[in-house]
């Protein structure tokens, strides 16, 4: 067993974990944050994406001890005071989710994508960069629309 | 008046004065808030105190006798509570899962065994005790304190196999010398039935000017739901009841089937299926793990959980398609279709879970075309592979593929334009309702108008210009065209309960969405029927202690069945409301007037709403003070199918250097009958297209034919549609109302998939034709196959 300290969604936690505990397991089973999902075990589907010190990682292939002393942002931490994040709102507006299982990972990857580009995203760029997240329901059409809309909204609000 | 055998929707359902406030609106979904904030309730999100974990030991052989299973080392491993095998299931008299695979409505074609025998289905034991019949079949279960411990211990279970001859391919499995999957049968053929008018068809073939043939294997694929299948079983000795958390296509069905497996009354089992991370048919039938965790939880005294890893999902989720289809089309000199002969062979895998794909497809072999006579032989065969089950648009993409591909070939053979050949033979609007040569009665549709609209939507008229532009860039442009008609039937029974609460109205129903948005579209229907705002209605689903009956979600049945049964329940609720309002107004019930959610009386200026009545009842002010709730329960049974239809065009560019396919444009037009929520229906079409295109170009549950080993067992090997290999789509909804149900609904969940295999392959062939002639490879049209075809073409 190992002790780790990490900050998840603005809250500090001390955990006693087995050395081989995955970050996703720590989040879901130790902290009860079940918004982050496990869709595969080979880093292919992106359902488990969270932000670790501001960078998106696939938490199914990250050890929890790698998050020692780090800040973690999960889908549960996106909305503030009950106010949906612009990205969440864009997903809802554009019907960018159906079963919703891939959605948390989509949101976290898209957030990283928007944050790492100064310009408004184009559909082509979104399609290229989001290739590491899989969705089986939407055919991606509405997810692309939602991410482009959110990037417009977030860039315009950051300018103003 | 709208009829459905024995049940009459009377004049009260005339839509003449019906006020459409919510129906037809692109409302955002009620489901979304929880799903985008991480508050979904998927199966693996539930945990129980002292929960333990199960891991399955799976067969490494496609066909083998189990000589011995040595669990002695495994039980010594840390954290292990028990290891169970098929013998333990046998000792505890667990029953095999009864799947009821033969479609049950009066309109489904009637499949039979060879020589008109009853169909032998095989046995779907939770764990086998004698033989394994496919790679990945669970043969032992380890239960341990943690998932890691269960996994580690499972590696220590030693199985001795005696390998048996195996057969994976359906065309090999029907041969007389093929290895036999079930000794109970003289061969592997479990279904052999013939439909249509043989004499008339033969006569037409004799008189025909042209006979065009097409044969193909429509490949095997699987659902790849993003949520891997999972289950959590719990037995409570105090109440002697079992609880199962398991996402599925219908909790009620799972309850009744699993109760039979356990040998208990159905009321001893509660099944909870809240958010379901994709289904597409894959989750409609019970899985062995569901029964196993329930059984083990009673034996061990702890809750038992199982979550498949992705490889287990590829090995043992129900798979789809796998149909060999051979068609012959007879035409006269002018291109009129005279008759059709079809031979369909379905690979059901190692036991028969569903014959829906074969049955559904059988009724639709003539597609959207007026063909006077047809015969069809439908066969199903066992093989040493995972069982197949209905997969999105069960059976219809396969037969659409066959008819549309043979028409493309016929156009080439006759030197006719492929669109003109289709127009000449389409079922015309004035022929509706149209009964095809197999006996399916198409309810409504404007097929030629569909063609006109899709050609416009896809900018067909400027195709030559785009073809030249592509050529100048060194690319081969191909354009595919396909019409389609499909049937939506499904389980015939549905139940709805409506409860008026003080501020909200609850509708309890037994369908099970996995992303289709029932909590939204059903609320839209109920709101308009009740004359209330959309946000006053909420839908309850997926817990068998609340939802007592229901047919689940499959075959595009849900909205059609839900709207009909909710409409009937609202009628009952109105009658109840009138009686209470009469009490309130102190008048006779016949003096109460109901209008748009409000009750009025000739004797009073006041009016009362549903909610006013509910509050009065709750306060004990009703006519019968014992009645505290305004609540009704209604059952309905509908057998008549509906026939969604449409057309689509796909435009691709092939890079002749690599064989790579780039989809440039994809347009689809779908007649869904009345569209309740266009936002949702367009989304369904998008997803449906992606699944169809995926099968056409990349996806395949590929088996090594020598060893029987599945090769595509992770997301690194199985070709999933991704962001960067699909275009944005152009989709259009057409609403030709169906006369078979109150609102004229057809279905909107599967139309995207149904023509997709045909239209993509049509595009590939169009691109390759000048260099290679007809495409002779099966789905999926991978770059390797295309490149090989191009190389062969060059040498000719």
> Region B424-436: what's the mean pLDDT?
97
Show the domain range for A129: 86-159
Q: Which phi and psi (to 5°) does residue A103 adopt?
A: -60, -45
What is the separation of C-alpha B178 from the centre of its chain, rounded to a whole number of angstroms? 31
Work out the mean pLDDT of chain B and round it to a whole number.
Answer: 95
Mean pLDDT of the region B567-584: 93
Q: Which of B682, B687, B723 lies at the smallest CB-CB distance from A131?
A: B723
What pLDDT does A160 receive? 57
For residue A18, the chain B residue with the least C-alpha distance is B148
Residue B171 is assigned to a structural domain of this protein: no
What's the pLDDT at B11?
40
Q: Flag if A76 and B691 touch (Cβ within 8 Å).
A: no
From the list B280, B714, B729, the residue facing A139 with the nearest CB is B729
Of B31, B42, B687, the CB nearest to A139: B687
Mean pLDDT of A57-71: 97
Q: Is the peptide bond before A15 cis (omega within 30 degrees of 0)?
A: no
Contact between A91 and B36 using a beta-carbon 8 Å cutoff: yes
pLDDT at position B16 is 78
Domain final position from B266, B281, B307: B307
Nearest to A106 by CA among A55, A156, A140, A70: A140
Q: Is the full-model pTM beyond 0.95?
A: yes
Query: pLDDT per residue over B315-344, tens digit each?
Result: 999 999 999 999 999 999 999 999 999 999
Q: Are B374 and B402 in contact (CB under 8 A)?
A: no
Average pLDDT over residues B721-727: 97
Q: Which helix (H) or strand (E) covers residue A71, if one does?
A: strand A71-73
Band (pLDDT 50/70/90 cuts) for residue B626 is low
The answer to whether A55 contacts chain B (CB < 8 Å) is no
- Rounded CA-CA distance B283/B229 in Å is 8
B199: in domain: no
| Per-residue pLDDT reduced to its tens digit, B349-369 | 999 999 999 999 999 999 999
Report yes or no: B254 and B269 within 8 Å, Cβ to Cβ. Answer: no
Residues of A in Cβ contact (< 8 Å) with B32: 91-92, 97, 100
User: What order of strands is seen across the sheet that includes strand B241-245?
Assistant: B80-85, B138-144, B52-58, B304-307, B230-236, B241-245, B269-272
Beta bridge partners of B195: B376
Final residue of a domain: which of B583, B617, B637? Answer: B637
Q: Rounded mean pLDDT of A134-158?
A: 95
Q: How confident is the model at residue B794 (pLDDT cuts 50, 70, 90)?
A: confident
The answer for residues whose C-beta is within 8 angstroms of residue B452's C-beta and 6 or more apart is none
Q: Distance between CA atoms of B623 and B72, rounded to whole angstroms?
A: 69
Long-range contacts of B236-239 (CB under 8 A, 24+ apart): B237/B298, B237/B301
Q: What mean pLDDT do residues B722-734 have?
A: 98
In the block, which residue shows the tokens 């004035």? B430
Q: Give the pLDDT score at B6.
A: 35
- Confidence band, pLDDT 50/70/90 cuts, at residue B2: very low
Helix (H, G, I), strand (E, B) or coil at A1: coil
In chain A, what is the straight-line distance between the N-terminal and C-terminal CA atoms, in Å?
49
* pLDDT, tens digit (0-9, with 9 covering 90-100), for A66-122: 999 999 999 999 999 999 999 999 999 999 999 999 999 999 999 999 999 999 999
Task: Identify all chain B residues contacting A36, using CB atoms and an 8 Å cutoff.
Answer: 38
CA separation for the pair B704, B710 (Å, rounded): 6
- Residue B644 and residue B621 share a domain: no
Contact B161, B65 (CB under 8 A): yes
Q: Which of B682, B723, B731, B748 is the mutation pick for testing A, counting most A CBs within 10 A?
A: B723
Same domain, A107 and A51: no
3-state helix, strand, coil in chain A (%, to 5): 40, 20, 40
> pLDDT (tens digit, 9 = 90+) per residue, B148-191?
999 999 999 999 999 999 999 999 999 999 999 999 999 999 99
Judge whether A37 and A101 are in contact, CB under 8 Å. yes
Domain boundary among A77, A110, A130: A77
pLDDT for the residue numbered B490: 83
- Bridge partners of B668, per DSSP, are B648, B731
Q: Say what the pLDDT of residue B551 is.
A: 85
Do A123 and A73 lie in a common domain?
Answer: no
Q: Does B726 touch chain A (CB under 8 A)?
A: yes
CATH of the domain at B122: 3.90.1170.50
- Give the ranges where B71-146 is alpha helix by DSSP (H): 72-75, 86-91
Residue B72, both tokens: 């002695």
pLDDT at B775: 93
CATH number at residue A57: 3.10.20.30
Residue B180 located in a structural domain = no
Which of B:559-578 have CB within 8 Å of A? none
Query: DSSP 3-state assignment of B302?
Result: coil
Give me the number of domains chain A comprises.
2
A135 touches chain B (CB under 8 A): yes
Q: What is the pLDDT of residues B16-59, one digit of tens each?
A: 789 999 999 999 999 999 999 999 999 999 999 999 999 999 99
Query: Which value, in Å, is the radius of gyration of the alpha carbons in chain B?
Result: 28
Q: How many CB atoms lie within 10 A of CB B586?
A: 10
Tell me what pLDDT residue B103 has. Answer: 81
Q: Rounded to whole angstroms, how far apart are CA atoms B373 and B718?
A: 40
**Phi, psi at residue A61, to the nearest 5°?**
-125, 30
Query: Residue B118's domain spans which residues?
Result: 43-164+230-307
Please enumerate in sequence order all residues whose Cβ is within 8 A of that of B783, keeping only pairs 6 or more positions apart, or say none: B658, B659, B660, B661
Tokens of B24: 């037809």
pLDDT in tens, B472-486: 999 999 999 999 999
Q: Is A95 within 8 Å of B688 when comparing Cβ atoms?
A: no
Task: Please answer yes or no on whether A37 and B42 come within 8 Å at the CB atom.
Answer: yes
Is the ipTM here above 0.95?
A: yes
pLDDT at B1: 33
Chain B touched by A11 (CB under 8 Å) = no
The runs of H, that is alpha helices, within A79-140 are 86-93, 103-115, 123-129
pLDDT at B795: 58
Chain A residue at shortest CA distance from B715 = A44
In the block, tokens 């009658």 appear at B575
Contact assignment for A38 to B683 by CB distance below 8 Å: no
Beta-carbon contacts below 8 Å between A and B = 183
Whether residues B483 and B497 fall in one domain: no
Domain count, chain B: 3
Domain boundary among A51, A77, A103: A77
* From B38, B44, B683, residue closest to A76, measured CB to CB: B38
Q: Which of A74, A102, A144 lies at the smallest CB-CB distance from B38?
A: A74
């Amino acid at each position: 067993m190992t002790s780790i300290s990490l900050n998840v969604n603005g809250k500090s936690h001390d955990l006693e974990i087995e050395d081989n505990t995955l970050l996703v397991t720590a989040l879901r089973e130790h902290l009860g944050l079940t918004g982050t999902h496990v869709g595969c075990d080979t880093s292919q589907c992106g359902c488990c994406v969270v932000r670790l010190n501001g960078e998106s990682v696939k938490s199914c292939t990250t050890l929890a001890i790698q998050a020692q002393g780090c800040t973690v942002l999960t889908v549960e931490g996106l909305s503030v005071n009950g106010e949906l994040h612009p990205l969440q709102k864009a997903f809802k507006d554009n019907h960018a989710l159906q079963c919703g299982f891939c959605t948390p990972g989509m949101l976290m990857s898209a957030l990283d994508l928007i944050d790492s580009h100064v310009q408004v995203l184009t559909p082509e760029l979104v399609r290229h960069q989001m290739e590491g997240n899989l969705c089986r329901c939407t055919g991606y059409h509405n997810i692309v629309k939602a991410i482009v809309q959110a990037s417009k909204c977030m860039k315009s609000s950051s300018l103003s | 008046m709208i009829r459905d055998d024995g049940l009459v929707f009377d004049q009260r359902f005339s839509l003449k004065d019906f006020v459409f406030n919510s129906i037809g609106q692109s409302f955002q979904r009620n489901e979304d808030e929880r799903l985008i904030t991480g508050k979904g309730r998927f199966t693996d999100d539930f945990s129980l105190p002292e929960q333990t974990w199960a891991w399955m030991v799976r067969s490494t052989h496609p066909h083998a006798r189990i000589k011995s299973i040595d669990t002695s080392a495994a039980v010594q491993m840390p954290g292990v509570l028990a290891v169970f095998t098929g013998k333990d299931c046998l000792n505890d008299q667990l029953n095999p899962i009864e799947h009821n695979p033969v479609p049950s409505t009066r309109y489904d074609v009637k499949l039979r065994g060879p020589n008109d025998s009853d169909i032998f289905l095989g046995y779907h034991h939770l764990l086998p005790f004698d033989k394994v019949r496919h790679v990945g079949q669970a043969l032992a279960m380890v239960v341990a304190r943690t998932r890691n411990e269960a996994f580690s211990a499972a590696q220590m279970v030693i199985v001795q196999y005696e390998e048996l001859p195996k057969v994976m391919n359906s065309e090999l499995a029907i041969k007389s010398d093929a290895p036999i999957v079930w000794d109970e049968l003289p061969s592997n053929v479990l279904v052999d039935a013939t439909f249509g008018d043989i004499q008339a068809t033969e006569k037409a073939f004799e008189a025909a000017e042209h006979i065009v043939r097409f044969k193909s294997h429509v490949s095997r694929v699987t659902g790849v739901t993003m949520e891997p299948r999972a289950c959590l079983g719990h037995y409570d000795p105090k109440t002697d009841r079992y609880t199962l958390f398991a996402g599925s296509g219908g909790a009620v069905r799972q309850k009744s089937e699993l109760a039979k497996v356990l040998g208990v009354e159905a009321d001893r089992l509660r099944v909870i299926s809240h958010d379901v991370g994709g289904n597409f048919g894959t989750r409609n039938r019970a899985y062995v793990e569901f029964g196993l965790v329930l059984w083990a939880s009673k034996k061990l005294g702890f809750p038992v959980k199982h979550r498949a890893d992705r490889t287990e999902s590829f090995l043992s989720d129900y798979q789809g398609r796998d149909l060999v289809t051979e068609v012959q089309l007879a035409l006269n000199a002018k291109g009129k279709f005279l008759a059709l002969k079809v031979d369909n062979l379905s690979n059901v895998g190692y036991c028969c879970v569903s014959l829906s794909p074969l049955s559904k497809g059988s009724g639709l072999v003539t597609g959207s075309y007026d063909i006077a006579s047809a015969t069809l032989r439908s066969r199903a065969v066992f093989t040493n592979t995972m069982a197949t089950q209905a997969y999105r648009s069960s059976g219809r993409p396969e037969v659409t593929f066959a008819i549309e591909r043979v028409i493309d070939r016929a156009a080439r053979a006759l030197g006719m334009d492929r669109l003109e050949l289709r127009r000449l033979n389409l079922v015309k609007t004035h022929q509706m309702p149209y009964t095809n040569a197999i006996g399916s009665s198409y309810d409504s549709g404007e097929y030629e108008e569909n063609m006109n609209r899709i050609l416009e939507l896809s900018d067909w008229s400027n195709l030559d210009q785009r073809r030249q532009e592509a050529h100048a860039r060194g690319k081969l442009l191909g354009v595919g065209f396909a019409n389609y008609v499909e049937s939506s039937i499904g389980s015939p029974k549905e139940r709805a309960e409506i409860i008026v609460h003080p501020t909200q109205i609850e509708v309890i129903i037994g369908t099970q969405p996995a992303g289709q948005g029932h909590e939204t579209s059903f609320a839209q229907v109920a709101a308009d029927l009740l004359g209330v705002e959309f946000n006053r209605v909420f839908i309850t689903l997926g817990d068998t202690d609340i939802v007592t009956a229901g047919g689940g979600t499959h075959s595009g049945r849900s909205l059609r069945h839900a709207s009909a049964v909710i409409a009937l329940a609202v009628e009952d609720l109105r009658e109840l409301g009138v009686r209470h309002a009469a009490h309130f107004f102190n008048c006779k019930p016949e003096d109460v007037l109901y209008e748009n959610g409000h009750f009025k009386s000739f004797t009073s200026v006041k009016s009362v709403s549903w909610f006013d009545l509910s509050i009065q009842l709750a306060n004990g002010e009703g006519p019968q003070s014992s009645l505290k709730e305004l609540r009704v329960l209604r059952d309905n049974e509908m057998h008549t199918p509906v026939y969604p239809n449409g057309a689509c065009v796909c435009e691709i560019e092939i890079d002749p250097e690599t064989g790579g396919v780039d989809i440039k444009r994809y347009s689809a037009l779908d007649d869904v009958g009345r569209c309740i929520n266009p936002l949702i229906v367009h989304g369904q079409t998008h997803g449906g297209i992606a699944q169809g295109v995926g099968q056409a170009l990349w996806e395949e549950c590929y088996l090594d034919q020598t060893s029987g080993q599945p090769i595509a067992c992770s997301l690194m090997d199985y070709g999933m549609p991704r962001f960067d290999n699909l275009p944005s789509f152009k989709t259009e909804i057409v609403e030709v109302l169906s006369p078979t149900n109150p609102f004229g609904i057809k279905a909107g969940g599967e139309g995207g998939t149904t023509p997709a295999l045909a239209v993509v392959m049509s595009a590939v062939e169009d691109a390759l034709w000048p260099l290679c002639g007809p495409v002779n490879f099966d789905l999926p049209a991978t770059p390797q196959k295309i490149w090989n075809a191009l190389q062969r073409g060059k040498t000719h």
